[in-house]
């Protein structure tokens, strides 16, 4: 089957199905040959059959903002998700009914759609404090029920808002009301794979295509919420082998903490790999593999001690870079694909690959990379992804930036320091250890960031100061 680049399928030919797998906080380095010392045989086999997007990045490397962009193709100032969604940010923060969605386009086009696992885009209500996970130690509650009208085109539903109880997860299934959740005593990723296998069993070669999203929460913390059979897989590795990036100070307190959690983090990665293998085996056994686009990715990575940081939501490569494998046998050539690919591009690219490029909602801002993946166009060497980080508190930094396939420019605005910028040449300095200090280079990048923000209609508070730098 061949799809036209403009998004029209050849007459009489069936559109491809989609299996979209996302694993929370799974960093790109876990799948790189010289990266983290973690075993991922199923994903390695998938990578050998896939386009491996080496410049896939999260525009906003934290859960809800990335997921909102993934679903809608809209930036945070348009999709109403500039922060993680919880009771402290609700009701202002949360995906609004009527937002554009790639799943809605596919469902309207005859696809059987489904969502399994973590959602984290619904604004919690007071009732969610009772029927969901409940308040955490700081009094906030994150888990939320999504009514059928808030599912953005996903018809089959086996999901929850945000709940990090990996060994005792719960779900809202189908049209069950908020008060009737389903509690499970099984590792969440294994259970979600079980449900996905049942969904796939209902699909048959030659039938209507499906689009299924499977959203695993691990390897997100708590890292010890893991089946015992995996927990000791990496326990004997020394810190120098566990954390092999040169931007990690193993003697620091953060470095020591990262070394302590790394064995469990990697164990969860290997456990996720096993679940991905189960899904891929099912596609093969059901004779669905050839006509199914498989995507494996994440919402962000994790610092693991790099730059003396542990988690995410920072503009460094360990957080921003995403694993991204896209397989479509006979259509997408396997191998490394250097095209820049970001959170905003996922929705329009899925529509492009499935033949719905012409049906892309006008509100979607991302770029359709299907012509590049299918070999009809060359990558845009000048493409840039905007980095976002909104201040939740008055003392927080308000950050914007640009990440291209070769460079990174970050502008931080704070009450105490004003505008502070950083620039990195990622070809010469992939670990971001030596900022580029040339004022002319920084002025050029400042000017480009100004242009990108203005084009996007992002009225960032630091624009005036950034313009001064651009004109310096």
Mark whether 160 and 85 lie in a shared domain: yes
What is the model's pLDDT at position 13?
55
Answer yes or no: do 369 and 397 share one domain: no
pLDDT at 205: 64
Q: The CATH number of the domain where 279 resides is what? A: 3.40.720.10
Give the pLDDT score at 206.
67
Using the predicted structure, report yes or no on whether residue 69 has a pLDDT greater than 50: yes
Closest CA to 313 of 56, 23, 57, 62: 62
Domain end point (choices 345, 373, 401): 373
Is a pLDDT exceeding 80 seen at residue 431?
yes
Q: 140-178: per-residue pLDDT in tens?
A: 999 999 999 999 999 999 999 999 999 999 999 999 999
Q: Quick one: 132 and 170 in the same domain?
A: yes
* 90-99 confidence digits (pLDDT tens): 999 999 999 9
User: Same domain, yes or no, for 91 and 153?
Assistant: yes
Domain end point (choices 316, 344, 373): 373
Predicted TM-score of the model (pTM): 0.95
Residue 8 falls within a domain, yes or no?
no
What is the CATH number for 433? Answer: 3.30.1120.10
The torsion angles phi and psi of 405, rounded to 5 degrees, stand at -70, -10
The answer on 208 and 101 residing in a single domain is yes
Q: Are residues 334 and 192 in the same domain?
A: yes
Q: 386 pairs with which residues across the strands?
A: 402
For residues 295 and 173, membership in a common domain is answered with: yes
Task: Evaluate whether residue 386 is within a structural domain.
Answer: no
- In percent, how much of the chain has pLDDT > 70? 97
> What's the maximum distance between 2 C-alpha atoms anywhere in the chain?
63
Q: Is residue 369 part of a domain?
A: yes
Q: What is the pLDDT of residues 365-375, one digit of tens each?
A: 999 999 999 99
Check whether 11 has a pLDDT greater than 90: no
Percent of the chain with pLDDT over 90: 94
> 373, 400, 430: which is the final residue of a domain?
373
Say what the pLDDT of residue 8 is.
Answer: 40
How far is 77 from 109, CA to CA, in rounded Å? 29
pLDDT-based confidence at residue 207 (cuts at 50, 70, 90): confident
Residue 326 lies in a domain: yes
Q: Are residues 57 and 157 in the same domain?
A: yes
Q: Tell me whether residue 384 is in a domain.
A: no
Query: Residue 197 has which token pair?
Result: 């296998």
pLDDT of residue 196: 98
7 in any annotated domain:
no
Domain extent at residue 26: 17-373
**Distance from chain centroid for Cα 93:** 19
Question: 345 and 438: one domain?
Answer: no
Residue 380 is assigned to a structural domain of this protein: no
Q: Give yes or no: residues 353 and 400 share one domain.
A: no
* Half-sphere exposure at residue 389, Cβ-oriented, CA atoms within 13 angstroms: 23
Contact 81, 358 (CB under 8 A): no
Q: Domains in the chain: how many in total? A: 2
- Are 398 and 325 within one domain? no
Instruction: Report the Cα 169 to chain-centroid distance in Å.
Output: 21
Whether residue 90 sits in one domain with residue 183? yes
Using the predicted structure, report yes or no on whether residue 195 has a pLDDT greater than 60: yes
Tokens 């790109």 — which residue?
A: 28
Q: Is residue 3 within 8 Å of 9, Cβ to Cβ?
A: yes
Average pLDDT, the chain: 95
């Amino acid at each position: 089957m061949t799809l036209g680049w403009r998004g029209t399928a050849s007459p009489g030919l069936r559109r491809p199905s989609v299996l979209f797998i996302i694993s929370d906080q799974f960093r790109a380095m876990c799948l790189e040959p010289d990266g983290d010392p973690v075993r991922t045989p199923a994903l390695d086999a998938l990578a050998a059959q896939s386009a491996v997007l080496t410049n896939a990045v999260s525009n906003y490397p934290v859960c809800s903002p990335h997921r909102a962009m993934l679903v809608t193709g809209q930036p945070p100032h348009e999709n109403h998700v500039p922060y993680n969604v919880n009771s402290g940010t609700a009701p202002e923060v949360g995906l609004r009914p009527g937002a554009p969605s790639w799943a809605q386009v596919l469902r309207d086009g005859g696809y059987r759609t489904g969502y399994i696992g973590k959602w984290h885009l619904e604004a919690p209500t007071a009732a969610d404090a009772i029927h969901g996970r409940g308040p955490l130690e700081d009094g906030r509650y994150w888990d939320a029920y999504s009514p059928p009208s808030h599912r953005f085109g996903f018809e089959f539903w086996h999901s929850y808002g945000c709940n990090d109880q990996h060994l005792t997860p719960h779900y809202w299934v189908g049209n069950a009301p908020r008060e009737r959740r389903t509690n499970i005593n099984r590792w969440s990723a294994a259970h979600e794979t079980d449900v996905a296998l049942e969904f796939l069993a209902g699909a048959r070669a030659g039938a209507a295509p499906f689009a299924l999203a499977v959203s695993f929460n691990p390897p997100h913390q708590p890292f010890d919420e893991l089946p015992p059979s995996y927990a000791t897989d990496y326990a004997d590795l020394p810190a120098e082998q566990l954390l092999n990036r040169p931007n990690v100070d193993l003697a620091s307190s953060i470095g020591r903490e990262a070394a302590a959690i790394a064995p469990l983090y990697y164990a969860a990665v290997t456990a996720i790999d096993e679940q991905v293998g189960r899904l891929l085996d099912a596609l093969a056994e059901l004779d669905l593999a050839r006509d199914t686009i498989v995507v494996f990715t994440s919402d962000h990575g994790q610092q693991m001690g790099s730059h003396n940081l542990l988690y995410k939501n920072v503009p460094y490569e360990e957080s921003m870079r995403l694993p991204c494998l896209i397989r479509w046998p006979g259509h997408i050539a396997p191998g490394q694909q250097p095209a820049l690919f970001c959170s905003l591009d996922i929705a329009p690219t899925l529509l492009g690959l499935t033949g719905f490029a012409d049906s892309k909602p006008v509100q979607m801002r991302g770029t359709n990379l299907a012509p590049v993946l299918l070999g009809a166009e060359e990558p845009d060497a000048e493409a840039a992804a905007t980095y976002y980080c909104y201040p939740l508190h008055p003392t927080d930094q308000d950050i914007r930036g640009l990440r291209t396939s070769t460079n990174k420019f970050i502008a931080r605005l704070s009450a105490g320091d004003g505008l502070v910028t950083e620039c990195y040449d990622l070809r010469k300095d992939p670990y971001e250890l030596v900022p580029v200090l040339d004022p002319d280079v920084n002025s050029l990048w400042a000017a480009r960031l100004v242009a990108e923000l203005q084009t996007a209609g992002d009225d960032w508070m630091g624009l005036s100061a950034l313009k001064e730098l651009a004109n310096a």
